[in-house]
Structure 1
Amino acid sequence: MAKKELQILVAEQKILNRIYVIRGQKIMLDKDLAEMYGVETKQLKRQVKRNIERFPKDFMFELTKKEFENLRYQIGTSSLPANLAGWGGTRYLPMAFTEQGVAMLSGILNSKTAIEVNIRIIRVFTKLREYTLTHKEILMQLAQLEKEVKGNTQDIENIFVVLKELIEKQSTPTPRNKIGFKQYGDEKG
């Protein structure tokens, strides 16, 4: 059982490593998806183009040249020779698939492998979303705490001012009237 769980974790980590954020969306690239599905990238692209009505812009978009170069830089492949970088020979800009686009791919790539991989990918996207929501709640709580602390800052400063005044009063005692018998010659005593 532990071996199977480890295999699942490794598979999920591989998927997670292939999710990028472009245009503020979590996406996967055609090349990575094709590799996971066990098909050639050109075959995946061909199937998508044949079924393009299933892929509106919020499901799939083509990267711009600048986005592609930035992505290559982030991945660390820009310094490798083109044939070793895994991007060599690319004549067309990559397609980027959002979570919904990946789900739609299962309808056009109808192999057992594609369906199994798709299920794993969707589960990873779901975990990512849950993780993001959890962190968002924590960040909102921290922001609320920060507001409360900022509101208390003036109160804390006032407390320190009063404490300083009390300390200063104790360090310079006020003159007191003498108590007791008065002798002749004492005028105010």
Structure 2
Amino acid sequence: MKDDNTLIPIEETSITNLIYTIRGKQVMIDRDLADLYQVQTKRLNEQVKRNSARFPEEFCFRLSTEEKNELVANCDRFTTMKHSSSNPYAFTEQGIAMLSAVLKSDIAVEVSIRIMNSFVEMRKFLLSNQQLFSRLDRVELKQLETDKKLEEVFNYIASNTEVKQKIFFDGQIYDAFRFIADLIGKAQSKLILIDNYVDVNTLNILCKKNSEVDVLIATSGKGNLTTKDMNKFNAQYPSLSVKTTKDFHDRFLIIDDKEGYFIGASIKDAGKKSFAITKIEDGKLVQDLINKVK
């Protein structure tokens, strides 16, 4: 295990091979994450325990003995866990995003972005092939090792109808994160985020955008976003620009200069307190917001 802050080059394809489907969720195991973050597994889990409020079960859960045994049986590199009295933790995509905040290192931020990019690419693959998958009959589906992943895809498609208003209550962090990420994923060319409190957690959500989408953040600068954070984001997810303005109090998300949403809380804090997201039906109001940002 390295003790310095040198980032070891990681291929996103190799990260994809570390993603498993457990309890119907795509997850990564704590010791794999520790290797990527260049920390001890014990230290990683200690940080999670110290910040337990940030890791609800939707973000992180401990494997049962049966789940651990199945993992060991299918993955030779986990054989050392076979006789361990402690079962490993599994982290969902949102839990991995939160890890970058609690580990507080440049490596953690960089690696978390790459990991989430791998999650995005895996979802794109499954979604782009959903027509092929839908033609398979039930017998063929049972023969696939990707049953659970397909189920997630179909559930997503079935529930992916437009929602014009949504309220999230305290603790619904995963639901809020997923809803905002889905909105961001709708953009085809441009996103405008108006939010006075932005930091690296904001960028962790914005990286859900499509690769050809440009992002403009209008903010008063009250958050902790640094030039270094912006440069790292732009290196992998161009292009991001930030405009400093004190013209706004509320938060808004504008998609492709056409679709606007009022957001009752900074997206970095989504789900930590009760808040609402409402679609702005008046196109003129959306255009007024765009003109104000310019």
TM-score by length of 2: 0.41
Matched, 1:139 2:116: no
CA contact (8 A) 2:72 2:82 kept: no
Unaligned runs of 5+ in 1: 1-6, 79-84, 144-189
Shift of 1:33: 0.2
Counterpart in the other structure of 1:38: 38
Matched, 1:99 2:99: no
Distance 2:68 2:133 in 1: 31
Percent identity over paired residues = 41
- Residue type at the aligned position of 2:71: L
CA contact (8 A) 2:69 2:82 kept: no
Counterpart in the other structure of 1:76: 76
Larger Rg: 1
**114, 122, 127: which one pairs with 2:121?**
127
Distance 1:52 1:88 in 2: 26
Unaligned runs of 5+ in 2: 1-7, 137-294
Shift of 1:77: 4.9
Q: 1:67-122 deviations in whole A, cap 9, x for unaligned?
A: 000000011357xxxxxx44377431100001111111111011111111111000
Aligned pairs for 1:104-183 within 5 A: 104-140=98-134, 142=135
Aligned pairs for 1:9-24 within 5 A: 11-24=11-24
Runs of 4+ with >2 A deviation: 85-91, 137-140
Counterpart in the other structure of 1:29: 29
* Bigger proportion of residues as strand: 2
Query: Please, what is the CA RMSD of the aligned residues?
Result: 2.3
Partner of 2:11, secondary structure, is helix
Distance 1:52 1:137 in 2: 40
Of structures 1 and 2, the one with the larger relative CO (CA 8 A, separation 6+) is: 1
- Residue type at the aligned position of 1:95: Y
- Residue type at the aligned position of 1:106: S
